[in-house]
Chains A and B, each alone.
Chain A
Amino acid sequence: MPLMTPDAYEDSLRRMKFKVYLMGEEVENVVDHPIIRPSMNSVKMTYALAQDPEHEALMTATSSLTGGTINRFCHLHQSTGDLVKKVKMQRLMGQRTAACFQRCVGMDAVNAVDSVTFEMDAKLGTDYHRRFRNFMLRMQEEDWTVDGAMTDVKGDRGLGPSKQADPDLFCRVVERRKEGIVVRGCKAHQTGALNSHWILVMPTLTMTREDADFALSFAAPADAEGIVYIYGRQSCDTRKLEGGRFDMGNREFGGHEAMMIFDDLFVPWENVFLCGEYEFSGALVERFAAYHRQSYGGCKVGVGDVLIGAAALAADYNGAARASHVKDKLIEMTHLNETLYSCGIACSAEGHRTASGNYLVDLLLANVCKQNVTRFPYEIARLAEDIAGGLMVTMPSEKDLGHPVAGRYIEKYLRGVPSVPTEHRMRILRLIENLTLGTAAVGYRTESMHGAGSPQAQRIMISRQGNLEHKKALAKRIAGIPV
């Protein structure tokens, strides 16, 4: 089953037994819960587009392990062309969902773990890469969605893992048995966790010798006994409970995050890929982060395409489209969005092969990409709000539009150009609201800031990769100073 159908994917989730809490209640049916369901639809789209001949060139790849056709989200990148296609696929997915489609994090995790386990085995004589490749084969053959889990809750940021008042604030090994390990801790902000078949855990930062028990990478079924989820709230999330048609802005698609708690989770050795080899934790963090910073040069751009389109429609619908300042704002939004895309493509085109055979992005350019992503979507959102006007946040509800008395007033007074129904104008404004202030703002704004690492993390990498001494030598040569 190298390519799972969308319905088979949904059915596979129905068979899973997640332990999850949402708004003070344990959720029995994750798939059909109205707050969760749109996020499942987004992941489901990764399966649907892979079956579509119109998109299979981006959505599928040839497995380096089996030679078979697989979903690109399960692929170990085999060339810079693969890295470029990854970004294009993510842009397409962003365009089709206007949301976080969640499956990237696992793709980025497996590509990072693949090269690091290979190098670890070569240096230390460990057996992690063989185990990991077995996991990869199953992932590809079963077309799993895998949730890459990195961010620990971290407690006191001024202290390292082993110095915390509560040692469980970083995920750690609490027991080593003959058959496997027992893990305790909590991963925060776990994107798409409840739409995933498996999780792939990685350390959250570079560990030192004294933090060896926290240098940990493993895979586990997402519904394994010992894993508890607490679902994260999103702005305006309860609009999904109102049963309406368009007040939620994007009725079909969304994203989600959850706390992922390991309450003494048992992991067999076959699924352990790093356990105490702290000196390789830094490379794993760095590579996963780089892949994920590349990802944002695709996914956020696709969502940006939708937001730019929505802003242009808002201008069309209220008759402002010909105003020069509106045209200029749309140009600026496009310029910013395409700059992000340029960075995503550039870090891919400048990627390189690793010792394990898969390809890694250019670290400097990937970090520049993500640094721009921490800024540009905010400006794009600001310009979209500017074009949309204040009605975006003062508009009555769709229920008022449907009311026999109030509805007549709304129809009459909120109409823009005569040729466009009032409801269409309201729908577009709700979509802009959703992307800039509502549930999708989690993905488009704050995730752009902090996802794949907060801005300072990129600046540290840019500093390391910037090659300042080379630049000094260039200046000396021009200035006539001996190099």
Chain B
Amino acid sequence: MSGGRERESGSAVVRILFCGGCHPRIARGRIALDLREALEGMGCRVAYGGGDEADFVVFLCGCLSGCAFRDNPGDVPSVAVAETTVDFREVGEERIVPEVLARVETFLKGRGRRFGGATS
């Protein structure tokens, strides 16, 4: 994955990468929709699945096994959601979206400094 195209257009691409969904203990689809709505409100473009284009990846796994991030080496900034944990810390299902958004915001702020430009 790379962030080349988003730099040209100026909007960060956040890719949501699901696990296979064999035994989910959270509502992955609803969480993804909530994230998409919020991220687009922040000026990000949201992509799904395993494409190349991404500045930030949200790994969204239904159980603690974490297949999505286990099978994908992290060469792009990311956050790992597995069941009700975010980056391996228990937060509860209702806190997943705000916790992920907080990490994306932190990334965008850092990126703004790094590239010397606005993030949205």
Contact = CB atoms under 8 A, between A and B. Distances in A.
Interface of A: 80, 119, 122, 350-355, 360, 362, 467, 470
A470 B26 CA distance: 9
A470 B82 contact: no
A352 B90 contact: no
23 contacts: A80-B70, A119-B89, A119-B90, A122-B89, A350-B65, A351-B65, A352-B64, A352-B65, A352-B82, A352-B88, A353-B66, A353-B88, A354-B88, A355-B88, A355-B89, A355-B90, A360-B64, A362-B64, A362-B65, A467-B23, A467-B25, A470-B23, A470-B24
A352 B66 contact: yes
Given A355-B88, A467-B25, 16 more contacts: A80-B70, A119-B89, A119-B90, A122-B89, A350-B65, A351-B65, A352-B64, A352-B65, A352-B66, A352-B88, A353-B88, A354-B88, A355-B89, A362-B64, A467-B23, A470-B24
A350 B19 CA distance: 13
Q: For chain B, give the interface size range.
A: 10 to 19
Nearest to A363: B64
A470 B25 contact: yes
Interface in B62-112: 64-66, 70, 82, 88-90
Contacts of B90: 119, 355
Nearest to A79: B70
A125 to B, nearest CB: 15
Contacts of B70: 80
A360 B88 CA distance: 11
A93 to B, nearest CB: 27
B117 to A, nearest CB: 34
Contacts of B24: 470
Interface string B6-39: 0000000000000000011100000000000000
Nearest to A115: B88
A417 to B, nearest CB: 51
A122 B88 CA distance: 13
Nearest to B64: A352
* Interface hub of B24, B70, B88, B90 (most chain A Cβ within 10 A): B88
Contacts of B88: 352-355
Nearest to A80: B70
Nearest to A353: B88
A12 to B, nearest CB: 37
Contacts of A350: 65
A350 B61 CA distance: 13
Contacts of B89: 119, 122, 355
A294 to B, nearest CB: 14
B26 to A, nearest CB: 10
B62 to A, nearest CB: 9
Contacts of A467: 23, 25
What 3 pairs between A and B have smallest CB-CB spacing?
A352-B64, A350-B65, A355-B88
Nearest to B87: A355
A352 B69 CA distance: 11
B7 to A, nearest CB: 32
A80 B64 CA distance: 12
A350 B25 CA distance: 15
A355 B82 CA distance: 12
B73 to A, nearest CB: 14
A339 B119 CA distance: 54
Contacts of B82: 352
Contacts of A354: 88
Interface string B40-64: 0000000000000000000000001
A276 B66 CA distance: 33
Contacts of B23: 467, 470
A119 B89 CA distance: 8
Nearest to A351: B65
A402 B89 CA distance: 66
Nearest to A356: B88
A13 B54 CA distance: 58
